[in-house]
């Protein structure tokens, strides 16, 4: 089953790693990047393994209900100012 995910990582994703993301969306923010897209469990595991092997530090992984109508495609419940969404069973943030 495909689910929508948002993965936030420290730093900048280089061109080779961005190409390896395939159809996933990515957005560069100050000192971090977000990766968004629809993934199966196996695809998510492969992506996390690839990020780990590339030395990329994952700081947040969220399964999101759907994509907002915002131009950048950031899910409405995953916006940086919205930290109240704690009922999601698959939300992990590095402390």
Dihedral sign from CA coordinates of 36, 93, 86, 49: positive
Residue 74: the pLDDT is 46
Average pLDDT (58-73) is 70
Above 70 in pLDDT, residue 84? no
Structure tokens at 95: 């402390």
Give the pLDDT score at 67: 58
pLDDT in tens, 32-62: 999 999 999 999 999 999 999 989 999 999 9
- The separation between the first and the last C-alpha atoms of the chain, rounded to the nearest angstrom, is 29
Question: What domains can you pick out in the chain, each with its CATH number?
Answer: 3-93 (3.30.70)
Flag whether pLDDT at 72 surpasses 50: no
Q: 6 pLDDT exceeds 70?
A: yes
Tell whether the torsion through CA atoms of 41, 42, 47 and 49 is positive or negative: positive
Using pLDDT thresholds of 50, 70 and 90, give the confidence band for residue 2.
confident
DSSP, collapsed to helix, strand or coil, labels residue 63 as strand
Write down the mean pLDDT value for the chain.
76
* Token pair listed for 44: 């998510």
């Amino acid at each position: 089953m495909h689910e929508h995910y948002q993965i936030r990582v420290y730093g900048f994703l280089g061109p080779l790693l961005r190409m390896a993301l395939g159809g996933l969306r990515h957005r560069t923010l100050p000192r971090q990047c977000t990766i968004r897209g629809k993934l199966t469990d196996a695809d998510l595991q492969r992506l996390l393994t690839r990020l780990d092997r590339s030395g990329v530090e994952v700081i947040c992984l969220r399964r999101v209900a759907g994509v907002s109508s915002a131009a950048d495609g950031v899910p409405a419940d995953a916006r940086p100012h919205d930290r109240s969404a704690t009922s999601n069973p698959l939300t992990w943030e590095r402390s």
